[in-house]
């Protein structure tokens, strides 16, 4: 959805507050594709900061369908976006601005979904856990260790000792 910011960017002292319903159903990023299970409208506060310049503040809560990094169980991951961005009209770009600094702007229009995606990329959790003490899956048999021990020998020898162990075993075979 495009929001026209012409008024905010060109009228000194102008401010506005709006709620935007987003049509986004998923987010695609380098680490994967995440379906949005729930979302609130984006609350946007916009204020003119001088000629061709405005400050936008946004807040939104979303719930993503993700998977626990340790046991792969589905997790409803809540993500709260709360951000502030300075935006510029096409005739007021600062000299040091990079092309993708405001990739969510199209001229005087703000692409709300583009902005939300941008903020999601920056706020998706690095680690997703079904619970803070998730025990994960057994590396050997794949059993969910939250449901109990599997009895596998998961002893991981010290890598330095492993070398010595290899020598022992090699000798045994002779």
Tell me the per-residue interface mask from 14 to 53 with Zn ion, x by CB under 5 A, - otherwise. ----------------------------------------
Pick between residue 92 and residue 129 the one whose CB is nearest to Zn ion: 129
Q: Is there binding between residue 130 and Zn ion (CB under 5 A)?
A: yes
H or E stretch covering 116: helix 112-123
Q: Choose the binding region for Zn ion from 14-22, 50-58, 109-117, 136-144 (rule: CB under 5 A).
A: 136-144
Q: Is there binding between residue 66 and Zn ion (CB under 5 A)?
A: no
Q: Is there binding between residue 76 and Zn ion (CB under 5 A)?
A: no
Q: Which of 68, 79, 112, 115 binds Zn ion (CB under 5 A)?
A: 68
How far apart CA 96 and CA 27 sit, in angstroms, is 29
For residues 37 and 65, the answer to whether their CB atoms sit within 8 Å is yes
For residues 154 and 143, the answer to whether their CB atoms sit within 8 Å is no
Pick between residue 155 and residue 168 the one whose CB is nearest to Zn ion: 155
Q: Which residues contact 91 (CB under 8 A, 6 or more apart)?
A: 52
DSSP symbol at 130: S
């Amino acid at each position: 959805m495009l929001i026209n910011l012409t008024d905010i960017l060109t009228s000194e002292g102008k401010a506005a507050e709006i709620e935007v319903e987003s049509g986004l159903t998923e987010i695609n990023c380098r680490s994967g594709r995440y379906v949005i299970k729930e979302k609130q409208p984006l609350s946007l506060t916009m204020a003119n900061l001088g000629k061709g310049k405005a400050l936008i503040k946004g807040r939104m809560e979303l719930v993503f369908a993700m998977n626990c990094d340790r046991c792969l169980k589905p997790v409803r991951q809540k993500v709260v976006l709360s951000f502030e961005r300075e935006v510029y009209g096409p005739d007021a770009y600062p000299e040091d601005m990079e092309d993708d600094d405001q990739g969510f702007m199209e001229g005087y229009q703000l692409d709300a979904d583009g902005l939300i995606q941008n903020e999601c990329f920056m706020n998706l959790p690095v680690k997703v856990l079904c619970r803070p003490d998730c025990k994960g899956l057994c590396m050997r048999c794949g059993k969910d260790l939250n449901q109990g021990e599997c009895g596998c020998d998961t002893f991981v020898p010290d890598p330095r000792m492993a070398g010595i162990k290899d020598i022992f075993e090699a000798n045994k075979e002779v």
